[in-house]
Amino acid sequence: MKLNIVPAARGMQWVKLGFRTFMKQPLALAALLFMYATIALMLLVIPLVGPLLVSAMVPIATLGLMAASRVAEGSGFPMPTILFTAFRANRERIRAMLVLGAIYAAMVVGIESLVALMVPIPTDGKTLQDVFESQAFGTSLVLSAAMYLPVSVLFWHAPALVHWHGVPPVKSLFFSAVACLRNARAFLVYGLVWFAIIVAIVAASALAAAVSPWLSGVVFGAGSTIVTIAFYVSIYFTFRDSFLDDDNPGVTP
């Protein structure tokens, strides 16, 4: 396995591959994402440890969706069990994936705790709408996003490296960060294209609101759902093109 450097234009291709692969198996891939969301919601109701379990599940679910994307790319049908691909390995790799999930959960909790200390959000005597519209809430969202970005870079390729290449958890974080930084131009294009798509959906929803609020909701709901699924599908292609091995000759050796 070795790092592959791709041109900036590859970022656009990753987005296209996400949509193209989604269209091959739209129902199966949508069902997998909703299945993941349902499991996450069920875990959230568990007192105290629920949010931790949801966070720890993210690398496992990411790998499952990547595996499903690989199957769908070949026009195969990803079965529901593929979401648990992380557990279809030897004990060492399962243990490594659980460690990766624990590290991810610890980082997320650390970010949330630090943001809460830096930007306290007053809730006494205020409605939920007042809290959401407050300046403190907006500041906390921006700060959380900024602090989560390096965590995202660390974990972007890590689940696949652990499961498919047997890389230890801590090393997988390092390799993931290096791959993302070395392909920063492609990832910049990738992010900008997704941002433009989101803006287009919001604009289309606003235009539809002039016709009917119901139509606006349909446009936004359907558009955001499709984009979310295509985004998760595209993650597999960012990994496939960033690392080379005997089974993956790459796009730009």
Amino acid symbol at 159: P
| Tokens 């969301």, residue located | 37
* Range name among 16-30, 142-156, 238-252 with the lowest pLDDT average: 238-252
Measured distance CA(185)–CA(156) in Å, rounded = 16
* Range name among 35-39, 103-107, 116-120 with the lowest pLDDT average: 116-120
What tokens were used for 170? Answer: 């801590």
Mean pLDDT across 145-156: 94
Measured distance CA(101)–CA(61) in Å, rounded = 10
- pLDDT tens, position by position, 38-63: 999 999 999 889 999 999 999 999 99
Cβ–Cβ < 8 Å for 32, 65? yes
Taking residue 206's Cβ as centre, other Cβ atoms within 10 Å add up to 12
Q: How confident is the model at residue 125 (pLDDT cuts 50, 70, 90)?
A: low
Measured distance CA(93)–CA(122) in Å, rounded = 44
β-pair partners for 3: 243
Looking at 85-127, list the stretches that DSSP marks H as alpha helix, in order from N- to C-terminal side: 91-118
Q: Which of 238, 236, 246 is nearest to 29 (CA)?
A: 236
Q: Which of 48, 53, 52, 80 is nearest to 65 (CA)?
A: 80
Say which residues have a Cβ less than 8 Å from residue 91's Cβ, sequence separation at least 6. Answer: none
Cβ–Cβ < 8 Å for 178, 14? no
- pLDDT tens, position by position, 225-249: 999 999 999 999 999 999 987 554 4
Mean pLDDT across 121-140: 75
pLDDT at 213 exceeding the cut of 90: no
What is the separation of C-alpha 95 from the centre of its chain, rounded to a whole number of angstroms? 22
pLDDT at 250 exceeding the cut of 70: no
pLDDT at 165 exceeding the cut of 70: yes
Amino acid symbol at 14: W
Say which residues have a Cβ less than 8 Å from residue 106's Cβ, sequence separation at least 6. Answer: none
Say which residues have a Cβ less than 8 Å from residue 157's Cβ, sequence separation at least 6. Answer: 172, 175, 176, 179, 180, 238, 239, 242, 243
Identify the pLDDT of residue 47: 87
Q: Which percentage of the chain shows pLDDT scores above 90?
A: 73
Identify the pLDDT of residue 114: 92
pLDDT at 218 exceeding the cut of 50: yes
Cβ–Cβ < 8 Å for 58, 106? no
* Range name among 65-69, 200-204, 229-233, 249-253 with the lowest pLDDT average: 249-253
